[in-house]
Amino acid sequence: MKLASLKQGRDGRLVVVSSDLAWYADAGHIVPTLQAALDDWDRVEGDLRNLATDLDHEVIPRERFHERDAAAPLPRAYQWADGSAYVNHVALVRQARGAEMPETFWHDPLMYQGGSDGFLGPRDPIPLADESWGCDLEAEVVVVTGDVPLGASREDALAAVRLVGLTNDVSLRNLIPGELAKGFGFFQSKPASAFSPVFVTPDALGDWWRDGKLHRKLMVDLNGAPFGRAEAGEDMTFDFGTLIAHAAKTRALGAGTIIGSGTVSNRDADGGPGKPIAQGGVGYSCLAEVRTVETIRDGKASTPFLKAGDTVRIWAEDDKHHPIFGTIEQTVEG
Amino acid sequence: MKLASLKQGRDGRLVVVSSDLAWYADAGHIVPTLQAALDDWDRVEGDLRNLATDLDHEVIPRERFHERDAAAPLPRAYQWADGSAYVNHVALVRQARGAEMPETFWHDPLMYQGGSDGFLGPRDPIPLADESWGCDLEAEVVVVTGDVPLGASREDALAAVRLVGLTNDVSLRNLIPGELAKGFGFFQSKPASAFSPVFVTPDALGDWWRDGKLHRKLMVDLNGAPFGRAEAGEDMTFDFGTLIAHAAKTRALGAGTIIGSGTVSNRDADGGPGKPIAQGGVGYSCLAEVRTVETIRDGKASTPFLKAGDTVRIWAEDDKHHPIFGTIEQTVEG
């Protein structure tokens, strides 16, 4: 089952989207918003699944689904907690600035609390008031949970995964060092994130969803050219079950909590940092990583951060090269 | 006007509470929840105020208001961002662990993104799975905003303050050093916060609300004994307008955003750290601060963190010693 929220009011209008993303059926007679559905999942899930089946069988009225009309599936949420599960990425960034990475980072997940009061839709521009802030994309996998009790095990946590999707976790890189030096984590350096047009139930992903990971390539294009083709199922040190259980160690998580993987990142086949796609590598899921590789290699970064007019595309494909979650496609607006 | 949410479902049932906190009138015919009211404030504010006036004039049906029936006024919220505006407190904590505080801390607010997917009601127990985590109270002032545009000025930010209240921002002190060392800020060290039974519009506070600060003593009792009587209007380096503008520097804030002051803390009259109430001082708004003062004075902390059975009371009073926001009164449950 694929779910989306068409732009309407603060929380959107819930629709069920066909497997091929071409059509939608209004779900308002079952439940008005995705948050309301997650709040009452056991009661509404069956009806929503029946609607999705009827839609795919073309036995109910349907409308064309246009990704540009979609808000983030949760246009606002009660929690957005982003991990940093591809520890390879963290190790690289540290290496570039000459900082040692504690060995514990391989066992104890990094996670920050993100702002969740307003997200960008998949086609919304990225507002950037000041290019000197160093605007970066971060292509990630996310899951949405139901209620997760305090102290949940990894297995219980995985069972609470309701939906899977993608995000562009926009970051203002030049504001990060100052904020992290203050010790309280990210705030101004993390403006609104964008999400994929649809979120998908794990069962609809079949074998692509296993071991708490999405086993598909995360496709990233920058200004129309291939930039990232990393395999999201590889080099993910902490699976989503582990990330959710980490978040729930000292408090319960409310239904509709979004948990992020952190920037997807693969080692190169030779064990070193990933190479650009033009050099036969799988590329990158954020600018910071290619800048890091450049810094290690050349002594300084040459790839610039995003500026007004730059475009970012993020998606994942099925075996016929059709987007699974739709496509995030954003232009930076100064 | 005073607003509360009686426990019901995930978001409570909005009621208007009389000025003396003795009575309430259901607001469901105007708007069902406080979040819905904040989403549509311009449309519903007048009707809610009329209801409050009628309630105070005893011309409508009314029910007894019991604080034990209240959830947090926003039982869950889309954003909880907590500042650390009493820089004196930060300086003290740093001094105790021999760390220098950067001079910039006096000009650039500290703020962290807190979890907002589920808050505790004013009489809810504080769940504590492991006493070795070092459970602490933190008594703070909070405001709730309407929509705040990206880049809002301090003045615009102050104009967006809809409600004022109190919080007990529960902290797990022994988990903080490890989390801050990882650089991503607080997560497991900040379980669910509790909020005062009612939130109050700024106009109803009269002269107690000015310059973006609450000018009342923040009363804290620990196990029935006076523990803190700090003046919230003093030593607040960053007023709420400045805190909100800081939060809105790189992104808009959604209606219903809760902004916290951080632990209220006063210098002693002699300019040094605050003294215990028993020694003629104004006491403390968290255990960490008294432990810090003990560490500076005696070489080690003697006041223990909270354990099962301990009780915490937090409130502020009008001139007749009646609570303005009701009383947070919680018992730690192991």
DSSP string covering B168-181: E--EEGGGHHHHHH
Number of DSSP helices (H) and strands (E) in chain B, helices first: 7, 20
In 3D space, the residue among A314, A282, A306, A287 whose CA is nearest the CA of residue A168 turns out to be: A314
Looking only at the bridges linking them, the beta strands covering B258-260 and B80-83 are parallel
More confident site: A97 or B15: B15
Contact B76 A77 (CB under 8 A): no
Amino acid at A183: G
Which of A:87-126 have CB within 8 Å of B?
A: 102, 105, 108, 110-118
- Residue A96, pLDDT above cutoff 80: no
User: Would you tell me which residues 138-157 of chain A have a C-beta closer than 8 angstroms to some C-beta of chain B?
Assistant: 150-151
Helix (H, G, I), strand (E, B) or coil at A116: coil
A1-45 residue pLDDT tens: 999 999 999 999 999 999 999 999 999 999 999 999 999 999 999
Mean of all residue pLDDT scores within chain B: 96
Residues A281, A267: Cα–Cα separation, whole Å? 9
d(CA A93, CA B9): 45
What gap in Å lies between CA A101 and CA B182, rounded to an integer? 10
In the three-class reduction of DSSP (H, G, I as helix; E, B as strand; rest coil), residue A77 is classed as coil
- At A122, the pLDDT band (50, 70, 90 cuts) reads very high
Which chain A residues contact residue B129 at CB under 8 A? 150-151, 250
* A184 and chain B in contact, CB less than 8 A: yes
For the segment A133-145, the average pLDDT, to the nearest whole number, is 98
Rg of the Cα trace of chain B?
19
Confirm if B290 and B142 have CB atoms less than 8 A apart.
no
When scoring B78, B107, B135 by the number of chain A Cβ atoms within 10 A, the one with the most, hence best to mutate, is B78
pLDDT for B238: 98
Query: What is residue B228's predicted lDDT score, i.e. its pLDDT?
Result: 98
Average pLDDT over residues B319-324: 97
Distance (Å, whole) CA A115 – CA A169: 11
Cα angle A192-A283-A321, degrees, rounded to a multiple of 5: 80
Beta bridge pairs of residue B303:
none
Cβ within 8 Å of residue B15, ≥6 positions away: B3, B4, B5, B6, B24, B25, B26, B27, B65
Q: Minimum mean pLDDT among A214-218, A275-279, B34-38, B242-246: which range?
A: A275-279
Which residue, among A182, A189, A242, A332, would best test binding to B if mutated, counting the most B CBs under 10 Å from its CB?
A182
Whether B257 and A117 lie within 8 Å, measured CB to CB? yes
A126 contacts in chain B (CB < 8 Å): none
Q: What percent of chain A has pLDDT over 90?
A: 89
Predicted pLDDT at B274: 84
Mean of pLDDT values over B254-278: 92
Which residues in chain B have their CB less than 8 angstroms from residue A115's CB?
Answer: 79, 81, 113, 251
Euclidean distance between CA atoms B47 and B146, whole angstroms: 17
Task: Tell me the range of B79-83, B86-90, B97-101 where mean pLDDT is highest.
Answer: B79-83
Q: What is the pLDDT of residue A168?
A: 98
Nearest to A250 among B76, B191, B247 (CB): B191
Residues in chain B: 334
Distance from the Cα of B180 to chain A's closest Cα (Å) equals: 6
- In the prediction, which pLDDT does A231 show? 97
| Interfacial B residues in 216-235 facing A (CB < 8 Å) | none
pLDDT at A131 over 80: yes
Query: Element (H or E) spanning B290, and its range?
Result: helix B287-298
Contact A180 B183 (CB under 8 A): yes
Partners of residue A76 in chain B, C-beta under 8 Å: 78, 254
Contact B189 A250 (CB under 8 A): yes
pLDDT of residue A294: 92
* 3-class secondary-structure state, position B15: strand
Hey, are the CB atoms on B250 and A129 less than 8 Å from each other?
yes
Min Cα separation B179/chain A (Å): 9
Give pLDDT, residue B269. 81
Residue A11 contacts B, CB cutoff 8 Å = no
- Closest Cβ opposite residue A129 in set B111, B151, B189: B151
Instruction: Assess A251–B contact: CB distance below 8 Å, yes or no.
Output: yes
**Residues 6+ positions from A52 with CB-CB distance below 8 Å:** A1, A2, A16, A18
Could you give the residue ranges of the DSSP H alpha helices within A190-280? 240-247
Measured in angstroms, the CA of A193 and the nearest CA of chain B are apart by: 10
- The CB density around residue A97, as the number of other CB atoms within 10 Å, is 9
CA distance B216 to B166: 12
- Rounded to the nearest angstrom, the minimum Cα separation between B193 and chain A is 10
Contact A118 B254 (CB under 8 A): yes
* Cβ pair B110:A184 closer than 8 A: yes
Does residue A46 belong to the interface with chain B, where contact is any CB pair within 8 Å? no
As a whole number of angstroms, the distance between CA B178 and CA B163 comes to 35
Q: Give residue A216's pLDDT.
A: 98
Q: Is the distance from CB of A209 to CB of A164 less than 8 angstroms?
A: yes
Joined tokens for residue A30: 């079952």
Q: Which amino acid is at B202?
A: P
Mean pLDDT of A160-182: 95
- Which two structure tokens, joined as six digits, stand for A298? 């050349």
Mean pLDDT along residues B9-27? 98
Give the residue, A297 or A145, on which the prediction is more confident.
A145
Burial of A203 (0-12, 13-18, 19+ CB in 10 A): exposed
Q: Do B76 and A78 touch (CB under 8 A)?
A: yes
- The shortest CB-CB distance from A187 to any of B111, B181, B254 is to B111
Nearby residues of B195 by Cβ (< 8 Å), 6 or more positions away: B72, B73, B74, B119, B120, B121, B122, B142, B165, B166, B167, B168, B328
Task: Check residue A92 and give its pLDDT.
Answer: 81
Is residue A129 within 8 angstroms of chain B, CB to CB?
yes
Inter-chain residue contact A113 with B114, CB threshold 8 Å: yes
Lowest mean pLDDT of A90-94, B86-90, B155-159, name the range: A90-94
Cβ–Cβ under 8 Å, residues B172 and A250? yes
CA distance to partner chain B, nearest, from residue A75 (Å): 11
Lowest mean pLDDT among A189-198, B219-228, B239-248, B290-299: B290-299
Q: Which residue has the higher pLDDT, B88 or B257?
A: B257
CB-nearest to A76 from B78, B192, B250 is: B78
Helix (H) or strand (E) holding A127: strand A126-127
Task: Answer yes or no: is pLDDT of A271 > 80.
Answer: no
Q: Report the number of secondary-structure helices (H) and strands (E) in chain A.
A: 7, 21
Provide the 8-state DSSP code for A274: P
Residues 281-310 of chain A with CB under 8 A from chain B are none
Residue with tokens 């949410």: B5
d(CA A265, CA A285): 7
**Contact between B251 and A191 using a beta-carbon 8 Å cutoff:** yes
| Pair B139, B83: CB distance under 8 Å | no
Summarize pLDDT for A182-207 with one digit per residue, the tens: 888 999 999 999 999 999 999 999 99
pLDDT (tens digit per residue) in B189-214: 999 999 999 999 999 999 999 999 99
Q: Which of A79, A185, A192 has the CB atom closest to B184's CB atom? A: A185
